[in-house]
């Protein structure tokens, strides 16, 4: 049985947490990040994807997503993540049925970021892009 008489208030146990909570409530304005997103119903062109990751939309401090890419033998899935200038690409066990890309940043202009994300979704991906796949796999190896 749980003894409620022996419970202490969180402030008694964690004075730093109480101080941080008090400081947080003292702020009049809390800045939130803005985001732009695009759903990916099919595979993406790896060259267009890497172009976006290497040159994210202005104001984006993070770009992330799950994508499907057509390879020479089969489609593969990847998890992509950009924070600042660090690009990370990891394989997924299976390609996602529907992928997505999201750009995030407090100074992100969604009206400018949305077309950049949509360009990846619209880029022709009907055939394997050998040069784009080499660029994608280079980041995948660097991410290990």
Mean pLDDT of 31-59: 94
Distance in angstroms (rounded) separating the CA atoms of residues 84 and 113: 16
Sign of the alpha-carbon dihedral angle for 135, 137, 141, 143: positive
Express each pLDDT in 12-23 by its tens digit. 443 434 434 444
**Contact, 105 vs 60, CB < 8 A?**
yes
Query: At 97, is the pLDDT very low, low, confident or very high (cuts 50, 70, 90)?
Result: very high
Give the model's confidence band at 31: pLDDT under 50 very low, under 70 low, under 90 confident, else very high. low
Q: Is the dihedral of CA 110, 78, 130, 86 positive or negative?
A: positive
Cα 40 from Cα 60, distance rounded (Å)? 19
Helix (H), strand (E) at residue 3? none
Tokens of 128: 């394997």
Asked whether residue 116 carries a pLDDT value surpassing 90, the answer given is yes
pLDDT digits (tens, 9 = 90+) for 61-77: 999 999 999 999 999 99
The angle formed by the CA atoms of residues 118, 119 and 124, to the nearest 5 degrees, is: 120
C-alpha triplet 81, 85, 86: angle, nearest 5°: 50
């Amino acid at each position: 049985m749980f003894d409620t008489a022996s419970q202490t208030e969180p402030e008694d146990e964690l004075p730093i947490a109480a101080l941080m909570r008090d400081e947080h409530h003292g702020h009049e304005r809390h800045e939130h990040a803005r985001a732009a997103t695009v759903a990916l119903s099919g595979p993406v062109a790896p060259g267009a994807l890497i172009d976006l990751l290497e040159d994210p939309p202005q104001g984006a401090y993070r770009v992330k997503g799950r994508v499907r890419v057509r390879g020479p033998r089969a489609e593969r899935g990847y998890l992509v993540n950009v924070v600042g200038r660090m690009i990370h690409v990891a394989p997924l066990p299976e390609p996602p049925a529907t992928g997505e890309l999201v750009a995030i940043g407090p100074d992100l202009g969604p009206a400018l970021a949305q077309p950049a994300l949509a360009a990846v979704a619209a880029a022709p991906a009907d055939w394997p892009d050998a040069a784009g796949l080499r660029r994608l796999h280079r980041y995948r190896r660097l991410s290990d």
